[in-house]
Amino acid sequence: MAIDPDQQHAEVALGYEVIQSYLKTLDGSPGVYRMLDPDSRVLYVGKARNLKARVSNYARPTGHSPRISRMISMTSSMMFLTTRTETEALLLEQNLIKQLKPKFNVLLRDDKSFPNILVTAGHDYPQIKKHRGAKKEKGAYYGPFASAGAVNRTLNQLQRVFMLRDCSNAMFESRTRPCLQFQIKRCSAPCVGKITPQAYSETVSDAQKFLSGKNADIQAKLAREMSAASEDMEFERAAALRDRIKALTQVQTAQGVNPKGVSEADIIALHLENGQACVQVFFIRANQNWGNHDYYPRVGPDVDAAEALEAFMGQFYDTREPPRQVILSNEIENPDLMSDALGMKAGRKVEILVPQRGEKADLVDGALRNARESLARKMAESATHTRLLKGIAEAFGLEASPQRIEVYDNSHIQGTNAVGGMIVSGPDGFMKNQYRKFNIKGDDITPGDDFGMMKEVLTRRFKRLLKEDPDRAKGMWPDLLLIDGGAGQVSAVREIMAEYGVGDIPMVGVAKGVDRDAGKEEFYRTGQRPFALRHNDPVLYFIQRMRDEAHRFAIGTHRAKRAKAVGATPLDDIAGVGAARKRALLAHFGSAKAVSRANLADLKAVAGVSEALAQKVYDYFQDG
């Protein structure tokens, strides 16, 4: 509920006196409060066990840190929401912080999901594969892994040891002879009957034990089987088992530090320096180190470790399932409260530890060392990046260093599968969560018309910006546009910008010189002669990197669209035919053309296809 203070002056009141006016309306309930500026932008979101006691702290004119004093001085109103418990307040606080991104809160800027390994279910020969996102597909999930690289390494190890298939069901059904994976001993070729369902099921079980940390059990079992095969003079099978044991030993050696006393935990270490922070998260699952990831949350110069680490944890686990243990480098402000909140999310107990000695303390020390070294590298890169942004401002006559540069490029093959790509660069480098792709939709665009494509992309971009952030207050607007092209592209884009009233945004066209050589780029601006930077100018290299990143992103998006189009069939246009039924129809008939020629009785015979759906498919092709 919003509570407005009495307005005693015609001008907007600010500061601790405004906050004082709320005290008479508050009680000792737990809840969440928001502090807002005169434009109703949220400055800060906080939780409280006792709202009146917490707000009364802000109502004092003195005794605050510089950050809090500045926040109080900008506050013109507050909003409050009471909760039943402080744990609910903590969960609500973190949701609001991620949604509103207040200026004075510690903010986690990277919200990527982590990949898992999935062993599928519902098939005689289960598939093992990488999975990212919601766990909707049936099967056993193992993770999270810190990166796609960590998953790929583990999958390669599993294939070497257990030889499980990684191909799709459609490819599996269509095979008539073993693929290359079988030749290099990475798959047992169940697709052509080189292994029985029972034997394959046993290897799947062994792989799942491996992912659950039962390596010693698997190795002992393989050793017994090898010995038995040797005694029975099955020397070929004994040799194959020997190779699997050898591969498993190599895997265990390559996995690095694998804690014996920690089966399932996240190791979280924080390093603060000069108003910047790095958090290292190591994922320990099944007594194995499944990689690490570094984060650089936004903090202020007077934020302490306890506040920063607690804020990070709340936001980090908002969309992720917490492990049984969370091992920290520092104490947090409310460990019991955080443990209850994480336990409520996980549906089981979650223990929070700050170890002082032993193996867990050694793990924290390793993570802390990584955090310290990562932050040092990041700060050095940021200093260089700051100089480059200043150089761009000088080169293009900007009033200040750009904080958000948007770079655009198109990709197509003779006009087909055309896409536009936008990448974003800022003070911390490429902002990949801000990248956008645009499927070119214009029916009036001639195939291969790069001007028309760029016009469509920029039209859609500015329409969205004007709708979502008309006041340019949310940091979504660019300070500089870089367009791949010369005078013609610049002129086309300038028309769009003038039409939408955003002609004040600086825009530069980047075109290769007469020899189309990197290093001879020319820069085009409206109403000015084209110019070039000197060949060895660091700013030129920086612009080249941004342009190349935009080109890479656009090409990748185009290839993905083209690949999807290659795999498209008329079945995609039939309502009710999803991926599973499409696979079933293609596996049964062999091709979409064969499906189109099938009679109604044959369609009804396909597993998973109801009579109603069979009729719908039949009618679709008959009408077509």
| Mean of all residue pLDDT scores within the chain | 85
If pLDDT is split at 50, 70 and 90, which confidence band does 523 have? Answer: very high
At 389 the pLDDT is 94
At 565 the pLDDT is 59
**Local structure of 578: helix, strand or coil:** coil
If pLDDT is split at 50, 70 and 90, which confidence band does 80 have? Answer: very high
At 111 the pLDDT is 66
Classify domain 16-100 at the CATH topology level.
GIY-YIG endonuclease (3.40.1440)
At 337 the pLDDT is 93
- What are 468-503's pLDDT values in tens digits? 888 887 788 999 999 988 888 888 888 889 989 999
Identity at 607, one-letter amino acid code: A
The H or E element containing residue 320 is none
Q: Are 129 and 116 in contact (CB under 8 A)?
A: no
Burial of 463 (0-12, 13-18, 19+ CB in 10 A): exposed
Mean pLDDT over 236-253 rounds to 69
If pLDDT is split at 50, 70 and 90, which confidence band does 11 have? Answer: very low
Instruction: Please give the residue that has the higher pLDDT: either 512 or 524.
Output: 524
At 175 the pLDDT is 84
The H or E element containing residue 80 is strand 77-82
Identical fold at 16-100 and 570-623? no
Mean pLDDT over 535-548 rounds to 90
Of all residues in the chain, what percent are helix, strand and coil, respectively (each to 5)? 45, 20, 35
At 515 the pLDDT is 58
At 216 the pLDDT is 66
Q: How far apart are CA 563 and CA 546, in angstroms?
A: 26
Asked whether the predicted pLDDT for residue 44 surpasses 70, the reply is yes
Mean pLDDT over 433-441 rounds to 86
C-alpha closest to that of 385 among 511, 156, 546:
546
Mean pLDDT over 323-347 rounds to 94
Identity at 31, one-letter amino acid code: G
Mean pLDDT over 530-547 rounds to 90
Asked if omega into 66 is within 30° of 0 (cis), the reply is no
Q: What is the CATH number of domain 264-376?
A: 3.30.420.340
If pLDDT is split at 50, 70 and 90, which confidence band does 616 have? Answer: confident
Asked whether the predicted pLDDT for residue 250 surpasses 80, the reply is no
DSSP secondary-structure letter at 41? -
Mean pLDDT over 588-592 rounds to 77
Asked whether the predicted pLDDT for residue 9 surpasses 50, the reply is no
At 252 the pLDDT is 55
Asked whether the predicted pLDDT for residue 383 surpasses 50, the reply is yes
Q: Is the CATH number 1.10.1040.10 carried by domain 570-623?
A: no
At 3 the pLDDT is 45
The CATH superfamily holding the domain 405-564 is UvrC, RNAse H endonuclease domain (3.30.420.340)
Asked whether the predicted pLDDT for residue 558 surpasses 90, the reply is no
Asked whether the predicted pLDDT for residue 260 surpasses 90, the reply is no
At 141 the pLDDT is 92
| Apex 294 CA angle, 377 and 100, nearest 5 | 110
Q: How far apart are CA 131 and CA 148, in angstroms?
A: 10
Identity at 364, one-letter amino acid code: V
At 332 the pLDDT is 95
**Local structure of 159: helix, strand or coil:** helix
If pLDDT is split at 50, 70 and 90, which confidence band does 275 have? Answer: confident
Mean pLDDT over 451-474 rounds to 87
Token code pair at residue 311: 């804020």
Distances (CA, A) of 83 to 29, 47, 89, 102: 7, 10, 6, 21
At 1 the pLDDT is 42
Q: Where are the domains of the chain?
A: 16-100, 116-254, 264-376, 405-564, 570-623
If pLDDT is split at 50, 70 and 90, which confidence band does 258 have? Answer: low
- What are 395-424's pLDDT values in tens digits? 999 999 999 999 998 876 555 667 889 999
